[in-house]
Structure 1
């Protein structure tokens, strides 16, 4: 079970993800979380550097999609800016949203990198499907109240994983 919480890569931000490295690992698509991964929670503004990174990823031939637990309108508005598939209200770590977006990209889970800021939603969800997972630090301390609770459990899980030298 603990193995399912272990990301393949840990970075400070989306901007540190090396697109060339992903391609060398056989990754053909990225499934991104939205809140606190690409955008600060409850913000509609993407930082210019993140937009450039995403355009570069798409220009490199990577396919991209969004899987978010946030509401339809918010996720759809962002996805439309980049013409990428999405699943909103995905109830991550449930697999349905991930599977839907991966299918729309016409890829298989082993060709996908899942990028997100939460172990119990993004990393667990991606690992359950056999995707390559990348854990980023959250962009903002502002979060949904339910996420604040999960962060406390996440801290405990990280301590356990570190004590077992799993991350």
Structure 2
């Protein structure tokens, strides 16, 4: 049961994910959750660090796509300033939103990675889609009310997963400190 929630990698922060390393791993498209992964849930404008990371992805010809469970209206408003493509109402942990993005960008399972801050939605959706995943720490510690429920259950899953896989730790990069 824990396998469906186990990420490929655990990285301290989204912006620590090195696009050159992604390129070495054959990644052409990065799918990312929106709230507390790409931007703080209460700050739709992002940060300078986010813009720098987006520029470095662009330099490596890696497409960044937001895959969110939020409504079309909410995601469109949140990513407008960033001018990012998105899939809304992705229904994570189901694989439909990820599969839709893969078809749209014509990539195979080994050319895409899902980045998210939640085991029960983002990482489970990646595993159901048979793609690699990166669990990141949330950008801020507070969450929207609907995410707090997930976080409660996620603590138990995380504890059990780390007991079973003690080699999984939050790291600074993908390749040099690769999880086994």
- TM above 0.5, one fold? yes
Q: Which has the higher helix share?
A: 1
Match of 1:25 in 2: 25
Aligned Cα RMSD in Å? 1.6
Aligned residues between the structures: 167
Q: Separation in 2 of the partners of 1:20 and 1:156?
A: 34
* Residue matched to 1:136: 136
Per the TM alignment, residue 80 of structure 1 is displaced from its structure 2 partner at its CA by: 4.5
Name the counterpart of 1:102.
102
Q: What does the per-residue CA deviation read over 1:68-127, in whole Å, with 9 as the maximum and x for residues that have no partner?
A: 111212312344545543111222112111111121111122210100100011111011
Distance in structure 2 (CA, Å) of the matches to 1:2 and 1:85: 31
CA distance in 2, matches of 1:122, 1:74: 18
What residue ranges of structure 1 are gaps of 5+ in the alignment? none
Partner of 1:66: 66
Q: 1:71 to 1:31 in 2, by over 3 A?
A: same
Ranges in structure 2 where 5+ consecutive residues have no aligned partner: 169-180
Return the TM-score normalized by structure 2: 0.86
Contact 2:44 2:79 in 1 (8 A): no
- Whether 1:34 and 2:38 are equivalent positions in the alignment is no
